[in-house]
Amino acid sequence: MLFNSLQFAIFLPIVFLLYWFVFDRFISKSKWQLRLQNAFVVVASYVFYGWWDWRFLLLIAFTSFCSWGSGILIGKAESKKKAKTWMWINIVLNLGILALFKYYDFFVSEFAELFHISTDGLLLKVILPVGISFYTFQALSYSIDVYRGKIEPTKDIVAFFAFISFFPQLVAGPIERATNLLPQFLKKREFNYDNAVDGMRQILWGLFKKIVVADNCAVYVDQVFSTYTGQSGSTLLLAAIFFTFQIYGDFSGYSDIAIGTAKLFGIKLMRNFNVPYFSRDIAEFWRRWHISLTTWFRDYVYIPLGGSRVSKAKVVRNTFIIFLVSGFWHGANWTFIAWGAYHAILFLPLILTGKNRKYTNQVAEGRWLPSLKEVGQMLLTFFLAVIGWIIFRAETIGQTWEYICGICNRSLFTIPAAKGFSALGLNILLLIIVEWIQRDKSFILDLSSIKKGYLRWTAYLALLFVLFAFGGHATNFIYFQF
């Protein structure tokens, strides 16, 4: 079920009303109230997920049960060694399932091509379950945190299933930690009007980014990338820039809708994007892009390897590991691995010189406009991100090379073929202006500083008009494939 679909527009109000006015108010005196409310969350989440393909409900239920059971066994273990064994059993089991569905055919195909072996009868050719990388990592973090003593194992299996399957962030994140999300299902939630209103505002901005920016960019990007060999350098560059905004609008739009929807149910999810295209170097970019994944790899891979508190050689090793694994997490394709390696190369000079934490505040903090130096830094970082997204979007390494070479010729200085560019360009400009003005807010459409209500409503209605007037054809979210 897509956030930008009629089905979800019907599904969400029904779930909201049942959640607060049946499982909260009408059975508020029951000692089973919280468990029944959590059970309803699980049922609603499974309906949401099963709308795509009900067969994979068994898979998410199996992952949830095994991870819940591993927590119990880790907590009851008589020794640290035994607890570690149970943790690793759960890690291997979950990663094994992920590898089977996502990477098995890739490795078999690559091995067969290397040794000129036929793949007849060897490939599984199974559909990749939507969101499997997201909920698998969420489940893994639970057993690891239980082993580390950061959270007590829960015996409440209903609350745990709700934690793994919570529908707003189930298929494309944010990848929540048990230390943040699980305790929220273990205590009574209270309806908060202000939080719900904030949630609706965040949903509105997420829909704008997805429907108006991402879906319109997708039309142009898909057409150019499918015919890139016959396009001018300027057209190829413009398509790459549009894809840079497409993937941002698509993915951060999903995160905004997810976080906003969760607020409607009294649940707080972590922020997943923080205006990444206003970054002054690539390290700052990665602190602001897909925050839930980058911090996951930092805490569960990079730091256990020694992080930056080891020799320079090991710092280089750790940096490449973290980026290569992050790239491979996105999919079974050499382009994703190359994309990860590209960012590792960009990141290395900063981390080796100790400048990777240089920019931790908002750009032009306390000022309306950035300095010329900051403008140059942001443009350079944005350009480096654009090159990275070409690698990410291409189907093969060869196509990546041909595409970049296609940009680097005299046709770069011609007028690009860009039918309908004016409307799309204005919408992207609106995105940039609003996010720049609101860059220091906890979410972009936080207009609480505007005291006059009619001004806030004017902004909301204007945005709704833009949604209906300029919304593109509904498409799947890009990160559903991961």
Catalytic (active-site) positions:
330
Return the residue matching tokens 């707003």: 168
DSSP 410: G
Say how far apart CA 381 and CA 281 lie, in whole Å.
5
Q: What is the CA radius of gyration of the chain?
A: 23
Say how far apart CA 258 and CA 461 lie, in whole Å.
21
51-to-2, 39, 130, 162 alpha-carbon distances in Å = 9, 18, 11, 17
Tokens of 353: 């010189």
SS3 content of the chain, % helix, strand, coil (to 5): 70, 0, 30
DSSP 299: I
DSSP 311: -
Say how far apart CA 352 and CA 342 lie, in whole Å.
16
Say how far apart CA 109 and CA 123 lie, in whole Å.
8
Say how far apart CA 176 and CA 191 lie, in whole Å.
22
